[in-house]
Amino acid sequence: MSSTAKVAVCSRSFSKNTILRAELMARYQQVTFNDAGLQLKGDSLVEFLSGHDKAITALETIDEAVLSRLPELKVISKYGVGLDMIDMVAMRAHGKRLGWTGGVNRRSVSELVISFAIAMLRHVPAAHREVLSGTWRQHVGGHLTGRTVGIIGCGHIGKDLVPLLQAFDCPILVNDVRDYPDFYAAHNVEPVSLETLLVRSDIVTLHVPLDESTRGMLDAHRLTMLKPTAVLINVARGELVDEAALKQMLQNKRLAAAAFDVFAVEPPPDQELLALPNFLVTPHIGGSAHEAVLAMGRAAIDGLDHNQIPGTEVD
């Protein structure tokens, strides 16, 4: 039976998905989709959400300035897993309810990490560019098999990545503010300090949320701890890494390669960084597999009905 509540869908990819549209419309009679493909923020976001009881949001910034102007909005359900765009203090202050499910896109992100690691170890982006420019020469790369991988953040995605890497016989180091002794023991994973992970790993991959404790965690000093032969992968959030320091290290061959799906500003304005032959860039596609889109969308639909006012335990 469908509900009479009015729902606004901010997400462009959700709005384009015919399966998700049909499943949402089966539950709710009155839905406003972002069919114009608008990038909603500030006044345009408030205008889009105005008059609705519930909303599905993705990368839109939901803060005090927005929530204070939407008294009728009762529920925000998150399409995707990152909560850094939602001000939890403002949500609590205005009594707004949050629908959220962690880890629904984990396999999509994990497989992208594997593809990044192999591509950079085998110099795929650089070789591709050379062939297009008329140069035909072999690049001698290395195996992912047997290389030490450091996973920063052992939540849903970090845990999903472990068995995929073990198929390549990779020794695995992890760093996390939380302890998962049973998981570590079951999968022969070694928990270490962040500094130890950076020094020992051949490949470092980031899987932490963005908050004040993680913002800028890989600053210029910590980046210098990486091996010159290492590959750095970021499919989490752009502001975790000092992009200017990263560019300098890649230019000076102090770091072999990096592959980023996320940036502090998207799209990233630093064309010099993007043009480096040892840098691979994708436009925030970590969760953009068909299977992940459906999983995230269905979790967001479910979150419209199953939600709570966020407490301090939400992170």
Residues of the chain with CATH 3.40.50.720: 3-104+289-305, 106-281
- Nearest Cα residue to 231 out of 208, 252, 199, 259: 259
Place of tokens 């707004």: 96
90-147 pLDDT per residue, tens: 999 999 999 999 889 999 999 999 999 999 999 999 999 999 999 999 999 999 999 9
Query: Can you give the pTM of this predicted structure?
Result: 0.85
Class of domain 3-104+289-305: alpha beta
pLDDT at residue 312 is higher than 80: no
- From CA 234, how far away is CA 288, in angstroms rounded? 15
- From CA 177, how far away is CA 154, in angstroms rounded? 9
Q: Residue 97 has what pLDDT?
A: 96
Which residue is catalytic, options 64, 266, 272, 291? 266
pLDDT at residue 253 is higher than 70: yes
150-188 pLDDT per residue, tens: 999 999 999 999 999 999 999 999 999 999 999 999 999
Residue 2 pLDDT class (50, 70, 90 cuts):
low
- From CA 284, how far away is CA 288, in angstroms rounded? 8
Which residue is catalytic, options 12, 106, 207, 237? 237
pLDDT at residue 38 is higher than 90: no
Q: Is 237 a catalytic residue?
A: yes
pLDDT, mean of residues 231-250: 97
Q: Is 137 a catalytic residue?
A: no
* Record: fold of 106-281: Rossmann fold (3.40.50)
Q: Which ranges in 122-236 belong to alpha helices (H)? A: 124-132, 156-166, 181-187, 194-200, 220-223
Q: Is 156 a catalytic residue?
A: no
270-285 pLDDT per residue, tens: 999 999 999 999 999 9
pLDDT at residue 232 is higher than 80: yes
Which residue is catalytic, options 122, 187, 284, 298? 284
Q: Residue 103 has what pLDDT?
A: 87
Q: Are 67 and 96 in contact (CB under 8 A)?
A: yes
Q: Residue 313 has what pLDDT?
A: 47
Q: Residue 314 has what pLDDT?
A: 41
pLDDT at residue 240 is higher than 60: yes
Q: Are 156 and 209 in contact (CB under 8 A)?
A: no
pLDDT at residue 206 is higher than 70: yes
Residue 287 pLDDT class (50, 70, 90 cuts):
confident
Q: Residue 315 has what pLDDT?
A: 38
Q: Are 165 and 149 in contact (CB under 8 A)?
A: yes
pLDDT, mean of residues 29-40: 92
Give the SS3 label for residue 260. strand
